[in-house]
Amino acid sequence: MPDKKAARARLAQEIQGFHPRLWRYCLALSGERTAAEDLCQSACLRALEKSDQLQPASNSDRWVFRIARNLWFNQLRAEKVRRGGGLVASDDIALASPDPNAETNIFHAEVLRAVMALPEAQRITVFLVYVEGFSYKEAAEHLQIPIGTVMSRLAAARSKLAAYNPNADAATRQSL
């Protein structure tokens, strides 16, 4: 079984390189910090357990992202009643930029708040394409949807984000 150990060690090293991106993706899926941490940890663990199934020529980050997505959907099905479907306000996420500039941190918080207010399908697509740098084709394959649907979701998200006004009252923002 040295091949399995070698595959696991190689994957563990690769995970270290894309772990922050995986965590952000888990945050986009779950909408709350603690759930993102749990989901990210579960995805990494599952990937390491199944490391022998990863094809040598495939992108390990895409594979682990898919594992995270599948785990999230399984968790949603299992916890549907207990969870209640609510998301934590993006103010509670507290993702600050490492930039010490207060204006930058305020801007990043406003952008995150607007993105987190998007419907789940749009939010996940925005994170995959605009934050994680997936191509439209890669995002479509990852989400198992047609590429046209990816483009449609992004167009709808851009439209909603363009209309987002952080100074609007909560009822107006909720209607976005």
DSSP 48-111: HHTGGGS-TTS-HHHHHHHHHHHHHHHHHHHHHHHHTT----GGGT----SS--HHHHHHHHHH
**CATH number of the domain within which 77 lies:** 1.10.1740.10
pLDDT reading at 175 higher than 90? no
Domain boundary among 58, 87, 116: 87
| Mean pLDDT in residue range 114-142 | 87
Taking 70 as the threshold, does the pLDDT of residue 161 lie above it?
yes
| Percent of all residues in the chain with a pLDDT value above 70, rounded to a whole number | 75
Q: What range defines the domain where residue 102 resides?
A: 95-176
- Considering the domain architecture, whether residues 172 and 104 belong to the same structural domain is answered as yes
- CATH code (residue 150): 1.10.10.10
In this structure, the answer to whether residues 7 and 41 fall within a common structural domain is yes
155 falls in which pLDDT band (50, 70, 90)? very high
The predicted-structure confidence for 141-153, as pLDDT tens digits, reads as follows 888 899 999 999 9
Same domain, 99 and 162: yes
* 0.85 surpassed by pTM: no
66 and 9 within one domain: yes
What is the overall mean pLDDT for the chain? 78
Q: Mark whether 72 and 110 lie in a shared domain.
A: no
Q: How many domains does the chain have?
A: 2
pLDDT tens-place string over residues 6-62? 888 888 999 999 999 999 889 888 888 898 999 999 999 999 998 888 877 778 888
Do 60 and 99 lie in one domain? The reply is no
Q: Which of 142, 144, 118, 120 lies closest to 132, judged by CA?
A: 142
Q: What is the pLDDT of residue 108?
A: 65
Based on the fold, state whether residues 52 and 109 are members of the same structural domain.
no
Confidence of residue 167 (pLDDT cuts 50, 70, 90): low
